[in-house]
Amino acid sequence: MFTVIGTALDALDRATTGAIDTGRLDDPTPCSAWTVAQVLFHAAGDQHAWASIVGSGSSPSYDPFNPPHRLDEGVAVTVAKAIEAATAAWAGVDPAAQSVRTPLPPVPTMAPELAAAACALDAAVHAWDVAVATGQPSPLTAALAEQLMPAARATAEPLRGFAYAAALPAQPDDDPAAALLRYLGRNPHWTP
C-alpha cells in the first residue's frame, strides 16, 4: 500500500478513538456545519467512495456530503470499516500503472501516487479537523503535509465551494501543515 495512505488512515483512526474516548462527538469542528461525528461519517464515506473506485469496495450507504449525526453501527465501527476498505483497495493498486480512476468529478483519473495522496489528503485533513475539535494533538505533521500538498494543488481549485473553502492568505511563519490548511480554506489556529 502507498505509505501516505497508511499514515493518513492511521491519523484518522487515532482521531476517531480520541473523539470517542473524550465523548465529544457532538462538538463543533472547523467544518462549521458539521459536528465531530458528522466529520467522521463524512471521512468514512469518502474512504468508501475511493475504495469503490480504485478497488472492489462498495460506495457508502449515505451521502458523505450530507453526513448523518448518528448511524446504527456508530462512529468507531463505521470508520474502522472505511479504513479496512481503503486499505484493501489501495493494496491492490499498481504504483506503476499509467493512471487510477478517482471519485473526483473534475479530475476523473490521476497518476497512482497523486491519487493516493488525494485520498490521503481527505483522511488526514479530516483527522486534523477532529483532533483540533476534541483537544487532541494535530496529526498533520510537516512531512505529511508536504506529501499532501501536490494533491491539494491538483484537486482543490475545481472543488472550491463544494469540498473546499476559498484559500486563506499564507502567513510568513506558516510551516507546511499550516500552509496546507490555509490552502484548503482552514485556519490552522482554529479553536472550538
The verdict on residue 174 lying in a domain is: no
- pLDDT score recorded for residue 140: 97
Q: Provide the number of structural domains found in the chain.
A: 1
Q: Is 171 part of a structural domain of the chain? A: no
Structural domain boundaries enclosing 109: 3-144
165 lies in some domain: no
pLDDT tens, 3-51? 999 999 999 999 999 999 888 999 999 998 999 999 999 999 999 999 9
- Look at residue 151 and tell me if it is in a domain: no
Q: Confidence band (pLDDT; 50, 70, 90) for 1?
A: low
Burial of 72 (0-12, 13-18, 19+ CB in 10 A): exposed
Is 152 part of a structural domain of the chain?
no
Euclidean distance between CA atoms 61 and 132, whole angstroms: 27
Q: What is the pLDDT of residues 89-116, one digit of tens each?
A: 999 999 999 999 999 877 889 999 999 9
Q: Does residue 58 lie within any of the structural domains? A: yes
- Is 161 a domain residue? no
CATH number at residue 65: 1.20.120.450
